[in-house]
C-alpha cells in the first residue's frame, strides 16, 4: 500500500487537514452521496476528453478504461448507499474542481495539458483521502476505500503521464502552479462539507 501512496504524497503539496477528517466521520451519509457524485463526474470528464480529442490514441485508450472503472465505482457506492438506506439526493458541487479547471489555459494544447494535470490532482487527492479515512471507518467502507485506492492511484498516474506526453515543454512548472492552488483549496475554510472540500466551518 505504501508503494501506491508514496508518489501521491510526493505529488500533493499538503495533507488533508484533521478538520475535514472529523467532519467526514460525523457526516458519513453525506460523504457517500458526494463520493457517488465524484465518481459520476470523473467518468464524465474522461468521456468528454474522448469526444474532444479523437486524434490522440493513447488518451482514448486510457480514458475509455478510466471511464468504465469510474462508472463501476459509481455503481459500488450506490449499492453501499442502498444497503445503508441512504437516499441519493441532489447536492451542490464543491468549489474544488471548478476552481482548478478555471485556471487552465485557453489555447488548445495548453488547455489539454492543464485539464490532464488537474485530473491528476483530483485523482491523487481522492486517493489521499481514501487512505486517511479508511482506517477510521467500519469494515465494509474500510475495505472498499482501500480497494479504490489501488485503481484510483493508476488514474492519477495515467493523467500525469498523458500530460507529460502531450506537452511541448516540461510540465513541472504547471504541476507546481496547480499544486499551490490545490493546497489552498484543501487547507482553507469551506462553507459546506464535500468529499473534496477544504476545512468545513
Element of type H or E holding 200: strand 199-200
Are 171 and 164 in contact, with CB atoms under 8 Å apart? Answer: yes
Mean pLDDT of 48-54: 97
- pLDDT tops 80 at residue 1: no
More confident residue, 153 or 99: 99
- The angle that helices 57-83 and 139-166 make with each other, rounded to 10 degrees, is 160
For position 43, what pLDDT does the model report? 97
pLDDT at 176 over 90: yes
Which helix (DSSP H) or strand (DSSP E) does residue 102 occupy?
helix 96-102
Between CA 153 and CA 192, with CA 151 as vertex, the angle to 5 degrees is 70
Q: Which long-range contacts (CB under 8 A, 24 or more apart) does 37-41 make?
A: 37/91, 37/93, 37/195, 38/126, 38/195, 38/196, 39/70, 39/71, 39/73, 39/74, 39/77, 40/70, 40/71, 40/74, 41/97
Q: Which tops the pLDDT comparison, 154 or 178?
A: 178
Domains of the chain as residue ranges with CATH: 16-188 (1.20.1260.10)
Give the Cα separation of 124 and 149 in Å (integer). 9
Digit-coded pLDDT (tens) for 7-41: 999 999 999 999 999 999 999 999 999 999 999 99
Q: What is the distance between the alpha carbons of residues 147 and 137, in angstroms, rounded to a whole number? A: 14
- Burial grade of 41 (CB within 10 A; 0-12, 13-18, 19 or more): middle
Residues in the chain: 201
Q: Could you read off the pLDDT of 100-136 as tens digits, one per residue? A: 999 999 999 999 999 999 999 999 999 999 999 999 9
**174 Rama sector, left if φ>0, alpha if ψ -120 to 50, beta otherwise:** alpha
pLDDT above 90: residue 3: no
| Cα 130 from Cα 135, distance rounded (Å) | 9
3-state secondary structure of 43: helix
The answer to whether residue 144 scores a pLDDT higher than 90 is yes
Confidence (pLDDT) at 192 = 93
Structural contact between residues 193 and 129, judged by C-beta atoms closer than 8 angstroms = no
**Residue 52: which pLDDT band, with cuts at 50, 70 and 90?**
very high
Which residues are CB-contacts of 148 (< 8 A; sequence separation ≥ 6)? 73, 126, 127, 130
**Cell 486517493 found at:** 127
Amino acid at each position: 500500500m505504501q508503494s501506491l501512496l508514496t508518489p501521491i504524497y510526493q505529488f500533493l503539496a499538503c495533507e488533508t487537514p484533521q478538520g475535514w477528517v472529523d467532519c467526514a466521520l460525523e457526516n458519513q451519509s453525506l460523504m457517500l452521496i458526494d463520493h457517488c457524485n465524484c465518481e459520476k463526474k470523473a467518468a464524465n470528464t474522461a468521456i468528454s476528453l474522448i469526444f474532444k480529442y479523437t486524434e490522440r490514441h493513447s488518451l482514448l485508450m486510457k480514458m475509455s478504461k478510466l471511464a468504465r472503472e469510474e462508472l463501476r465505482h459509481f455503481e459500488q457506492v450506490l449499492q453501499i448507499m442502498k444497503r445503508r438506506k441512504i437516499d441519493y439526493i441532489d447536492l451542490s458541487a464543491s468549489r474544488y474542481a471548478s476552481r482548478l479547471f478555471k485556471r487552465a489555459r485557453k489555447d488548445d494544447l495548453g488547455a489539454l495539458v492543464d485539464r490532464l494535470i488537474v485530473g491528476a490532482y483530483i485523482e491523487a487527492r481522492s486517493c489521499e483521502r481514501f487512505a486517511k479515512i479508511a482506517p477510521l471507518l467500519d469494515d465494509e467502507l474500510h475495505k472498499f476505500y482501500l480497494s479504490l485506492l489501488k485503481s484510483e492511484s493508476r488514474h492519477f498516474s495515467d493523467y500525469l503521464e498523458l500530460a507529460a506526453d502531450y506537452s511541448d515543454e516540461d510540465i513541472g512548472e504547471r504541476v507546481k502552479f496547480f499544486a499551490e492552488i490545490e493546497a489552498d483549496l484543501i487547507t482553507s475554510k469551506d462553507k459546506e462539507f464535500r468529499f473534496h472540500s477544504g476545512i468545513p466551518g
